[in-house]
Structure 1
Amino acid sequence: MTSTAPPPIDLADPAVVADPYPAFARARAQAPVQWHDGLGLWLAFTHAEAGAVLRDRRLGRIWRDREPAERFGSFNLIHRNAILEMEPPDHTRLRRLISTAFARGHVERLRPWVQELARELVDGLVVRSAGREPVDVLAGMAEELPVAVIAELLGVPHADRPLLRPWSNAIVKMYEYGRTTAVEDAAERAAAEFVAYLRGLVADRRRAPGEDLVSHLVSVRDDSVTAPAQAQLTEDELVTTCILLLNAGHEATVNVSGNGLLALLEHPDQLARLRADPDLLPTAIEELMRFDSPLQLFERTATEDVELGGATVARGQKVAALLGSANRDPAVFADPDALDLGRSPNPQISFGAGVHFCIGAPLARVELQATFGALLERTSRLELGRPPRRRPEFVIRGLAELPVVLTP
């Protein structure tokens, strides 16, 4: 398909990267699903159509190795074996195995530890700020907590934990459009180092299992599968699962923490409302995820021709759900551009939907409630110290720096 029409949204426009929501509103008013020549895919702008993209079984996650394959060996390995890039029956088998390991109480086991860590991190920020100096809440807390939680979950030794976020940061930059060769090379290097590290960790857990998730993933078996070769995770699947948990798990939490705190600072009435009613916190987290989605775009591929929002997505074509646009759809959300921490119902789709709904969503909610709960509990006042700095990427939406003055 070719067209001379301007694209429905320019993802390279710095103004769109800074604030995509006005452009989403204009596009939604034109048509629910539109073709983007530059990206070579369809974009679904409305809640109904984005939801259909995520749920329609004819629209699958069809992984194709990045070419040239010899240049992206490790990057391709960690995606070819990822649950996020699989469809049933492989997806069903892998998700059941991972869910079985998660079901051993890992999330609830960590809840008190996460809450205490959040308090310690906030206390450190408060001491440094003392109601006078702005401190970067992103570096001092939002980036620290989820990496520490995933590392604790997986049983990564404390000395190795500083390795994790740089690897993850480099890998996820491959999901952006308009990448440079240097970005691609850095992603492949990070993937290779991460894979090698986790193979060593898995070998350690085989020899000396513990109570961590890696040990349980090594040992878990799927009783519903009779073929021995399919009864447990392969090593490549196990390594890939650990990388996915870190990349997807912490990137989303970091960015909800940053985007959400900025939204509260820019809406002091809602911040005061949350201080006055801490029981509102679970509802508030859902609204912060809706208001400024940490993941803006999620692609699927048509396995047959699919009618969607008045358009035909032909077999083999890609279509992307624009999650941030769907979460601001006035057909579903009253006054969608307003931040309302008591919004209910709130069918936001930042965690996805359908078979690929985020498997780490319960853990992310624990982390986010601990983060915002500690910020409210350990401070009497929060205010923006100077303008925040946003990361220049569209797909994974987040801040690079959030300077805040915290008063004890």
Structure 2
Amino acid sequence: MPFDPADPAFLADPYPTFARLRAEAEVHPHPGLGIPVAVSHAACSAVLRRRDLGRIWADAEPADSFTAFNLLHRNSLLEREGPGHSRLRGLVAAAFGRGHTARLAPRVRRLAARLVDDLAARVADDGEADLLEHVAATLPVEVIAELLGVEGPERALLRGWSNTIVTMYEPDPGEDRRAAAEKASAEFVGALRELAAFRRRAPSDDLVSGLLAEASADGARLSSDELVGTAALLLMAGHEATVNVIGNGVLALLRRPDEWARLGPATAPTAVEELIRFDAPLQLFERTAVVDVEVAGFPVPAGTKIAALLGAAAHDPAVFAEPGRLDLDRNPNPHLGFGAGVHYCLGAPLARLEVAAALEALRERLPALTLAGEPPRRPDFVMRGLVCLPVTT
């Protein structure tokens, strides 16, 4: 087996293993995962871009035990191809085109500043505080709640739902986490149905109202399940990735004080891209062969899956000079952190805004920030992140 995705040593630093695999071949069979894995930038890019490799959803089994989880994913634009994907993606793109990112930008910056001020106060009172808890994990969920128009007690539940549901993406989540993911999915589906019904009666300037308006204006059909699936995708993709970019990124910066000192408004745009590349928040993304294909000479029969290891692609020296060096000025930076091809992340501009706002607020308000201890890694491979990030000044 090329690597054990549950091995703590591998999870602590998978990049040397990826380098070894790249030196041997661009694609490897992985009996443990049950699918081949692409490890070069070129092979991963092909997996993501080729139209004969698609996102073809297969229900979690037994299907009657995962009704809500399967509903969320079966109706997500990320899990569709062809006309169904184009129709739903067009509606979401048009709704985003109503200026949601620009509308939210001032609030995102104010929120980031307030959260960092709260972090600074906790450090002053207690000597240290968890940056992940008080900034990285709080900022994106508040932004997604604002984007979707989620109010009331459900706003406080979004983070827990997202954290619980995405554990199903790991190679072997275990029965307890599978059951918890279905329970969280069912609660989330119920809340989203209530939100959609409310916005049909009382539209506002949120994205759910925008989706409903676009569907009506174009005469396109947007089912209740599709609206629920789209909102769920925005939460899980927008929340999990951003949390881990901020957490992994700040950790990388604090381990390199010279780079932390260089961080500022001038370097923020390229710094965001470099932090996404340097320690990828999403390590694996799957595609399914629509017909018999080959990727870098490796056969992928129709109906079988292949995975792009995004962290491996991001450290390919054929594309990135000195890939193991954190370079806040790196440009160009063709990382695959937001995907590629027809499934490229529609929320990328909003994610970039959130990460930049957090970094700028931290650097401005806490320039002497340092690690208060070695942060533990989450025991997960696909979603690469930290359990906590203790900091002090």
TM bucket (normalised to shorter chain) is over 0.9
State the secondary structure of the residue aligned to 1:279.
coil
Aligned to 1:4: none
- Residues 128 and 372, structure 2, Cα contact 8 Å, conserved in 1: yes
- Residues 154 and 191, structure 2, Cα contact 8 Å, conserved in 1: no
Aligned to 1:47: 41
One-letter amino acid of the structure 2 residue matched with residue 83 of structure 1: L
- Residues 288 and 306, structure 2, Cα contact 8 Å, conserved in 1: yes
Q: Quick check: 104-113 or 302-311, which moved more?
A: 302-311
Deviation sequence 1:20-42 (CA, Å, 0-9, x none): 11110111111000111121111
State the secondary structure of the residue aligned to 2:391.
strand
2:351 is the alignment partner of 1:351? no
- Residues 50 and 326, structure 1, Cα contact 8 Å, conserved in 2: yes
* CA distance in 2: counterparts of 1:241 and 1:57, whole angstroms: 22
2:247 is the alignment partner of 1:258? yes
* CA distance in 1: counterparts of 2:232 and 2:304, whole angstroms: 28
**Residue 167 of structure 1 is aligned with which of 135, 147, 161?**
161
**Residue 180 of structure 1 is aligned with which of 152, 169, 174?**
174
- Residues 195 and 239, structure 1, Cα contact 8 Å, conserved in 2: yes
Query: After superposition, where does 1:20-169 map in structure 2 within 5 Å?
Result: 20-130=14-124, 133-169=127-163
One-letter amino acid of the structure 1 residue matched with residue 327 of structure 2: D
2:275 is the alignment partner of 1:281? no
- Residues 9 and 27, structure 1, Cα contact 8 Å, conserved in 2: no
State the secondary structure of the residue aligned to 2:215.
coil
Aligned to 2:258: 269
Aligned to 2:201: 207
One-letter amino acid of the structure 2 residue matched with residue 190 of structure 1: A
Query: After superposition, where does 1:227-376 map in structure 2 within 5 Å?
Result: 231-275=220-264, 278-376=265-363
2:370 is the alignment partner of 1:391? no
**Residue 379 of structure 1 is aligned with which of 366, 386, 393?**
366
Q: How far did 1:380 drift?
A: 2.7
State the secondary structure of the residue aligned to 1:320.
strand
* CA distance in 1: counterparts of 2:161 and 2:367, whole angstroms: 36
Q: Quick check: 64-73 or 334-343, which moved more?
A: 64-73
Q: How far did 1:210 drift?
A: 1.1
Q: How far did 1:88 drift?
A: 1.4
Q: How far did 1:12 drift?
A: 1.9
* CA distance in 1: counterparts of 2:339 and 2:307, whole angstroms: 12
- Residues 6 and 379, structure 2, Cα contact 8 Å, conserved in 1: no
Q: How far did 1:131 drift?
A: 9.1
State the secondary structure of the residue aligned to 1:70.
helix
One-letter amino acid of the structure 2 residue matched with residue 354 of structure 1: G
Q: How far did 1:160 drift?
A: 2.4
State the secondary structure of the residue aligned to 1:39.
coil
Deviation sequence 1:144-174 (CA, Å, 0-9, x none): 1000000011111143211101111110000
Deviation sequence 1:189-218 (CA, Å, 0-9, x none): 000010011101111111111111111112
* CA distance in 1: counterparts of 2:367 and 2:275, whole angstroms: 21
One-letter amino acid of the structure 2 residue matched with residue 279 of structure 1: A
Q: How far did 1:311 drift?
A: 1.0
- Residues 220 and 232, structure 1, Cα contact 8 Å, conserved in 2: no
- Residues 281 and 385, structure 2, Cα contact 8 Å, conserved in 1: yes
One-letter amino acid of the structure 2 residue matched with residue 141 of structure 1: V
* CA distance in 2: counterparts of 1:63 and 1:160, whole angstroms: 28
- Residues 172 and 247, structure 1, Cα contact 8 Å, conserved in 2: yes
- Residues 97 and 222, structure 1, Cα contact 8 Å, conserved in 2: no
2:182 is the alignment partner of 1:193? no
Deviation sequence 1:23-62 (CA, Å, 0-9, x none): 1011111100011112111100000000000001010101
* CA distance in 2: counterparts of 1:223 and 1:310, whole angstroms: 46
Q: What value does the CA root-mean-square deviation take over the aligned residues?
A: 1.3
Q: How far did 1:221 drift?
A: 2.4
Residues 37, 99 of structure 1: alpha-carbon distance in 2 compared, 3 angstrom cutoff: same
* CA distance in 2: counterparts of 1:290 and 1:51, whole angstroms: 14
One-letter amino acid of the structure 2 residue matched with residue 343 of structure 1: R
Alignment length (residue pairs): 393
- Residues 46 and 329, structure 1, Cα contact 8 Å, conserved in 2: yes
* CA distance in 1: counterparts of 2:79 and 2:236, whole angstroms: 14
Q: How far did 1:107 drift?
A: 0.5
Deviation sequence 1:199-254 (CA, Å, 0-9, x none): 01111111111111111112212767xxx5xx131110001111110010010000
